[in-house]
Amino acid sequence: MFSKPKKLAAALTLAVGAAVPLAMIAAPPAAVAQSGDLDRAVAALRGISTMKASFTQTDRAGQTMAGELTLKRPGKIRFDYGKSAPMLVVSNGKSLYLVDYDVKQVERWPISNSPLGALLDPNRDVKRYGKLVPTSHSGVVSVEVRDPKRPEFGVITLIFQRDANSPGGLKLTHWVALDAQNNRTTVRLSNHRYGMSVADSAFTFSDPRKSSRRPG
pLDDT digits (tens, 9 = 90+) for 2-35: 455 555 555 555 444 333 333 333 333 444 556 6
Looking at residue 86, what is its pLDDT? 87
Every domain of the chain and the residues it spans: 4-204
Matching CATH number, 4-204, of 3.80.10.10, 3.40.718.10, 2.50.20.10, 3.40.50.300: 2.50.20.10
pTM value surpassing 0.95 = no
Looking at residue 8, what is its pLDDT? 54
pLDDT digits (tens, 9 = 90+) for 83-107: 878 889 999 988 889 999 989 999 9
Distances (CA, A) of 197 to 21, 52, 70: 37, 10, 11
| Greatest distance between any 2 Cα atoms in the chain | 58
Alpha helices (runs of H) in the chain, residue ranges in sequence order? 4-15, 22-25, 37-46, 117-120, 122-129
CB–CB of 70/192 below 8 Å? no
Can you tell me the mean pLDDT for 53-71?
93
